[in-house]
Amino acid sequence: MASQVTNYQCPSCTGPLHFDGAAGKLLCDYCGNSYDIAEVEALYAKKDEIAKQAQERAESLSSDWDLTQAGGQWSEAEAENIRAYICPSCSAEIICDANTAATSCAYCGNPTVVPGKLGGALKPDLVIPFKLDKNAAIAALKQHYKGKIFLPKEFSAQNKLDEIKGIYVPFWLFDSHAGGDVEFNAAQVRSYTAGSYNVTETKHFKVYRSGSLAFEKVPVDASSKMADEYMDAIEPYDYSELKPFSTAYLPGFYADKYDLDSKECSSRADTRIENSTVDAFSSTVNGFTGVSLAGKYISMQRGKVSYALLPVWMLTTKWNGKLFTFAMNGQTGKLIGDLPISQGRFMAWLFGIAAPISAVMLLINFLS
């Protein structure tokens, strides 16, 4: 009886291989391909060598982030002209110049904020000034309403914005070099007719990519009150407009004080860099019907971390007792936010789709 070899997978379809004593080869239980033992052992030896090299590279390149230049200290004059407001409801803390009046929290809408003195915060290194004003934010929101067939008419017709606030959101910007080896499973599918048969031919491939990339200023928002998915969705920012931080950019706006330090945000930076590296390699795998990730060995050389404030318009509105929040990139105008759904419109659409399908099925059954 042939003995099963469970630790080997088919190089073509990744199915399990078993040793066939009569043929003296490893056979795939799924696609039927056969392989010499030496051929499969060489393939796995190559994979082990790639993993070993990646591990050695990771150990030699990986290091802690350089935090020595991340933020500075406020001067006495700057601290004297800055006020901090704390929301007793959600604990959000925002800072602004002494002449900006805070009337409500930009995050939860609570109308009560408690003024206090600035303390325990680093001075930002960089800032992207607001490029778009409040009117641009309102216009972007109205444009966001358009084309939403499930949006209740009353929401867009009767709805009024409760709050529009321009906030400089705190971000840690990470510099890094990443490199590695990535393995993909790829397939080419071809269909053709042979006599009275319709034939589908599938060829399977292993694709390897290796290289390195440089990353500059990978952003991770440093406020736990700001939804990460919102901040990711309104990217990217144009870094060519980054300026050395000055309190001259604050009048008329708020600046959220970070409550997640750079160390707490570094794991998310690592994840973004690793995913971007894999995506970059994946974009070079062309000419196949389907491509899937089979393995990755990514190493990083962590570099400098900077502290920056990036402009965001926060728009909040209440409808039917529920708070809806929208965020807009204060530089590019890209906007994101959830909208209510009209159950009546949705059911009407669903019935409009279901009715023709039901009619067609009844006709088919009748003709049958």
Domain count, the chain: 2
Judgement on whether residues 48 and 92 belong to the same structural domain of the protein = no
Joined tokens for residue 305: 């971390």
d(CA 326, CA 337): 4
Same domain, 271 and 311: yes
Residue 245: how many other CB atoms lie within 10 Å: 21
Angle at 222 between CA 220 and CA 225, to 5 degrees: 120
Report DSSP state, residue 101: P
**Which residue type does 61 have?**
L
Residue 25 shares a structural domain with residue 109: no
User: How big is the chain by its Cα radius of gyration, in Å?
Assistant: 29
Q: Do both 133 and 259 map to the same domain?
A: yes
Burial of 47 (0-12, 13-18, 19+ CB in 10 A): middle
- The per-residue pLDDT for 2 is 40
User: CA-CA distances (angstroms) from residue 109 to 30, 163, 178, 268, 318?
Assistant: 59, 8, 41, 28, 10
pLDDT computed for residue 184 by the predictor: 93
Asked whether residue 155 is domain-assigned, the answer is: no
How does strand 163-194 pair with strand 290-319? antiparallel
Q: Which helix (H) or strand (E) holds 210?
A: strand 197-221
CA–CA gap between residue 287 and residue 278 (Å, rounded)? 18
What is the reported pLDDT for 159? 53
Helices (H) and strands (E) in the chain, counts: 7, 15
Question: What does the alpha-carbon distance between residue 56 and residue 78 come to, in Å, rounded to a whole number?
Answer: 48
The pLDDT of residue 357 = 59
Residue 273 lies in a domain: yes
Q: How far apart are the first and last CA of the chain?
A: 51
This prediction's pTM: 0.70
| Same domain, residue pair 233 and 171 | yes
Give per-residue pLDDT as tens, 191-236: 988 888 898 988 888 899 999 999 999 999 998 888 889 999 999 9
Which CATH number covers residue 30? 2.20.25
The answer to whether residues 51 and 91 belong to one domain is no
Domain range spanning residue 227? Answer: 76-141+161-337
* Regions of the chain where pLDDT drops below 50: 1-6, 158, 342, 345-346, 349, 366
Query: Cα 149 vs. chain centroid, distance in angstroms?
Result: 27
pLDDT of residue 309: 92
pLDDT of residue 99: 59
Residues 84 and 53 in one domain: no
Question: Six-digit token pair at 361?
Answer: 């099925």
Q: Give the residue from 16, 8, 6 showing the smallest Cα distance to 43.
A: 8
What is the three-class DSSP state of 151?
Answer: coil
SS3 state of residue 319: strand
Residue 6: per-residue pLDDT: 41
User: Does 237 lie in the same domain as 110?
Assistant: yes
Can you tell me the distance from the alpha carbon of 18 to that of 27, in angstroms, rounded to the nearest whole number?
A: 5
